Structure formats: structure tokens, C-alpha cells
A and B are shown apart, each in its own frame.
Chain A
Amino acid sequence: MTVTVHTAAALALGDDALVLSHRLGEWAGHAPVLEEEVALANIALDLLGQARILLSMVGDEDQLAYLREERAFHNLQLVEQPNADFAHTIARQLYFSTYQRLLYSELAGGDSEFAGLAAKAVKEVAYHQDHAEQWTLRLGDGTEVSHDRMRRACEALWRFTGEMFQPVEGLEVDRAGMREAWLESVADVLRRATLDIPEGPQSGAWTAGAGRQGLHTEPFGRMLAEMQHLHRSHPGASW
């Protein structure tokens, strides 16, 4: 049986995992508690593993990661957002891991080229989601300071969440159903964390599927410059 690899879909999912993994890698040595050094690195590694499989479905993983320019990346704008404080990192994790779990659960049950990867990844992602939920509860329902920070983080990232449910070529999923399930799940966690669902729209002028089309936010270019610098400085070298 030959499986068709839908390049756009593999790149979209692969870039999400690659970019978020990179952001989490930036935490190494800066986490608020040693256990979180372990946990954040653990999640970064899981995502990097997913990225490598997905990018390899399309071509050479390193060429794709290190030699594409900003406009050729198809990740969500959500995952490229800077870490900022721990609350922003956790809000980003909550939004994304909930989406990823729903997506991979559905893909794992299907017969697309992503079924195998999704079956393995969904177990990792369940852990990521649990980690994000547990911290959302602790920050939201912790101290006044942490509640306030968590609220602000959830609000700040809210406008990037609509993009997750934009159509992606080759990705056959029930987007409407996923959106509904996502909202329900996130709303439930936020409620238990004594937080409200943010009020603003889930997308803005520059976020409605923009990352998927290669239109990114400003911090992303700097992130890529750092990530790609060494590889690009030694064309053709092996590492």
C-alpha cells in the first residue's frame, strides 16, 4: 500500500512541534523549580521527536528545519510566541496541547499517513496536557499574584487560538467538532482554575490562519536566526 504524504499537512504539524519544542528548550536552566527543568525538557523532547518524524515524511529534516526562511514555515503563530513568564508558557501549553490531543486522537483512529505517528504521540500529548492543566490550576487558584498572571497570559494568547481550527490541505479532520471539544475542555480547566474564558475574538487581522500561510509574528524571525545560524554558517557540513 502506498501512502500519500500531504506535504502541507506534514509541514504544518511538523513545524508546530519543531517551533514549540524550540521555545521550551529556551527554558533550560531558567525554570522556577528543578522538577520543571525536567518536565519542560521532557515535553520539548517529545515535540522534537514528533517534528523529526513529520519533517522526515516531507524530506530531509535538517534541510527543512535549518534552511527554510520565515515565510516558508507553516506553524501556528501560537507556538512561536515568546516564553515570557511561566504563566504565558503554561497558557500556551494548555491551548496547544489540548488541540494536539484532540487532533492526534482523531488522526490515530483514521487511516491517513499520520495514523502511526498520532497513535504514539497521543500518549505523549496526554501527559503534556495534564502537565499544563495541573499548572493552570495551581497558578489560577494559587495566590493573587499567580491568578493575575495566569489570567493575563490566557487573555494575551487567546487571539492566537482560532488559527488552530483553520483548514489545512491534506488534513482531514472534523474541525468544527474539534473546535467545540477544545473550547469545552479549556473552559472546564479555566473554570476549575477560577479563571474566566477570555472575552476577545479567537483571531485577529493577522492571525486567521496566517502562520499556516507563512505569515508570522516578529519574534519568530529572531528565533529562526538563532536556531539556524550555526547550520547555515557551515554549508554542506555534517554534524
Chain B
Amino acid sequence: MATAAAHHTARADGLTEADAAAYEAVFDAAVAADERIEPRDWMPDAYRATLVRQIAQHAHSEIIGMQPEANWITRAPSLRRKAILIAKVQDEAGHGLYLYSAAETLGTGREELLDKLHTGRQKYSSIFNYPTLTWADVGAIGWLVDGAAITNQVPLCRCSYGPYARAMVRICKEESFHQRQGYELLLTLSRGTPQQHAMAQDAVDRWWWPSLMMFGPPDDESAHSAQSMAWKIKRHSNDELRQRFVDICVPQAESLGLTLPDPQLRWNEERGHHDFGPIDWTEFWEVLKGNGPCNEERITQRRQAHDEGAWVREAAAAYAAKHKGAGRAAEGHARGVGGPSADQTDESGEA
């Protein structure tokens, strides 16, 4: 618990104005001192709301993000790749679970958040509205999409809200593992047959720009940025992170033997960064509004899985109610997480 904020863990209901100001001052001091805010600490309503929105959207992205990759599980071209891909999609479900738990510490239940996802009241990352058309897309997602996610998320490990920061530490470890696997998949294709090389190049061509859009709108159009940075939820601006990502990717593309689809991409000696071409923000906003290539399919599949699973969840609840207090029955249906063979994830990756 943040030491400064620990003095004020009471709920803010019924505070006088003077009390509220005092709480706010303690909160601000804790944030300024880089202390972690914990679930029982007082926090401004807007801070809570921003975090719920961001963490939920992050959780939704993990869950929807399973779809474009799961699309290739049944067609993976080797058993080793298939194992890696299943492990990865499994990790994403796990990340979703961590993140929903983190969001729940702020007082909003998973059911409510899922409902908001299903009814379009909360968003998920725009990147997952693009289709995976070839096997190489699985590699491009690992290298570029996970790479962009890591660039975004590593600073979140120092986010002012403790439960979110701790979830990000665990998630980032697994994400960087996935990213290396994606890179290695593309490298194998790039050095493979001419058809495989072409497949890899085509995938990078299609995923490059959408990956750059993952950092969000430019700084001057980003609605939540200033406040999030003041609260130390966010540590760097969208454009800063995007630039960092481009600088990381350029040499990696070179060693992959693949090109990036941007004729304006070149090293700028003076800035010490790569210059790059303009992003198609019209496309970005269209995808965000629901008009991307797969928005409809993604949300329909998610809703369908949820609706068709209703009878299963009802059965588990009815059983739990009947057998209340009967020992292990109370464990419910959550056994999958961290089961005895959860370490398989790493094994299959290294195989």
C-alpha cells in the first residue's frame, strides 16, 4: 500500500469538501512520490473510471485477440508451430483473466465488463479487426502486433495503480516470448522457399501500418493522454512510443530480409530517429467506429460463444448452489487456470 495514501483508506462517501480536498492532496502526493495506489486507497472518481476503461479495454483486446490467431490453429503447418500457437492463444486467455481481475479490484465485475464489450459500449484494440489471411500473418502478429503491445505495455509495469502494474509484469514476460516466436516464424519463412518468402513479405506489408496505429491517435488528438500522464497511468506519449517502435523494427526487418511498406522511411541523423510516412488516420477512425474489415465477425463470434455457453455457466451455478459447502464442489469451473500442466506453455515454445 502506498504509505502516504494509507492514511486515508476510507471510502469517500459523505466527505465534507475539506475532507475531499485532503484526500485528494494525499493521493496527489502518493502519485508524485511514485508510490503505488492500491484497491483500498482513496482515489479520484475519474482516476478509477479511467483505469476501469483502460484495463477493461486491455482485457477485451486479449480476448478478441485470440480470434485472428486461433483462426490458424487447425491449419498450422507443423506440429511444433501448432503447439506454439495453441500455447500462445491460451496465454492470451490467461492475460484476459489477469486483467479482468485487476479491473475487478476497482469495483466493476467481469460480467458487467463483458456485457459492455458484447454491446459495443467498450472497445478493444483496433488491430484485431484485421483478418489473418495466410499462415505468415501469425508471424507478423507475433513480431509486429506483440512488439507494439510490448512497447506500449512495458511502461505500464510502472503504472501508478498497483494491481494493473503487477498484471503487466507477468503479461510482458509472456508477450516478449510470443514476440520472439513470431519473429522466428517470419525468419523461417523469409529464408524458406520463394513462395514462403513472398508470404512473409505480404503479411508484413498488410500488418505494418495497422501496428503503428496501435499506439493510438497523434498526441494532439489524444483525448485521455494528458490526464493519464499526470496520474502516471501512462508514462510516454503515443507518438513517443510509436517512434520508439519504428526505431526498433527497422533493423529487425533488415535482419529478417523483409522490407517495410513505407517509401518515406529513412534514418534522420539530426533527430537520431527514423522518419516515417503519414498514417492513414481516416482508416484508423473507421476501424475504431466499427467499420473495419472484421469488426462485425469478431464481436459476433464473441457474443455467440458467450450466448451458446450460457447453459453451461447456468449449470455450473446451479450445481454450486446445490452442493454448497460440499468441499471441492465450491471450486466451481475455474480449475483450468494454473492447472498442473500450465508450464507446458514454455515447453512447447522451446521445443
Contact = CB atoms under 8 A, between A and B. Distances in A.
Interface stretch (A92-100, A132-140, A168-176, A183-191): A132-140
Interface of A: 18, 22, 25-26, 28-42, 44-46, 48-49, 51-52, 55, 61-62, 65-66, 85-86, 123-124, 126-127, 130-131, 134-135, 137-139, 141-143, 145-146, 149, 226-227, 229-231, 234, 236-239
B223 interface: no
Q: Is the interface of B mostly helix, strand, loop or mixed?
A: helix
A139 B312 CA distance: 7
A236 B89 CA distance: 28
Given A45-B86, A142-B318, A52 B77 contact: no
A220 to B, nearest CB: 13
A231 B77 contact: yes
Given A138-B319, A237-B193, A49 B344 contact: yes
B316 interface: yes
Interface string B59-98: 0000100110010011111111111001101100110110
B160 to A, nearest CB: 27
Interface stretch (B25-33, B261-269, B331-339): B331-339
15 contacts: A25-B73, A32-B313, A37-B90, A37-B93, A45-B86, A45-B348, A49-B344, A85-B308, A134-B331, A138-B333, A146-B312, A146-B314, A227-B74, A227-B75, A234-B77
B347 interface: yes
A29 B70 contact: yes
B336 A39 contact: yes
Contact of B333 (A35, A46, A48, A229): A35
Interface of B: 63, 66-67, 70, 73-83, 86-87, 89-90, 93-94, 96-97, 100, 135, 188-189, 192-193, 195-196, 301, 304-306, 308-319, 322-323, 329, 331, 333-337, 339-342, 344-345, 347-348, 351
Contacts of B334: 35
A138 B336 contact: no
A39 B309 contact: no
A42 B309 contact: no
Contacts of A237: 77, 192-193, 195-196
B319 A142 contact: yes
B341 A42 contact: yes
A237 B79 CA distance: 14
Contact of A25 (B63, B82, B318): B82
Nearest to B307: A32
Contacts of B339: 38-39, 42, 127, 131
Nearest to A26: B74
Nearest to A46: B341
Given A34-B96, A124-B340, 15 more contacts: A18-B79, A25-B82, A28-B73, A29-B89, A35-B337, A36-B312, A42-B342, A44-B86, A45-B83, A49-B344, A135-B333, A137-B319, A138-B333, A141-B323, A231-B77
A37 B59 CA distance: 14
B68 to A, nearest CB: 9
Contacts of A37: 66, 89-90, 93, 336
Contacts of A30: 301, 304-305, 308
Contact of A238 (B90, B97, B188): B188
A217 to B, nearest CB: 18
A49 to B, nearest CB: 7
A114 B123 CA distance: 50
Nearest to A236: B193
Given A142-B318, A143-B318, A31 B196 contact: no
Given A38-B337, A45-B341, A135-B333, A33 B312 contact: yes
Nearest to A231: B77
A34 B97 contact: yes
Contact of B315 (A130, A146, A230): A146
B77 A38 contact: no
Contacts of B94: 38
A75 to B, nearest CB: 15
Contacts of B319: 137-138, 141-142
Given A33-B333, A38-B90, A149-B311, A226 B83 contact: no
A128 B14 CA distance: 52
Nearest to B305: A30
Nearest to B82: A48
Contacts of A135: 333
B90 A146 contact: no
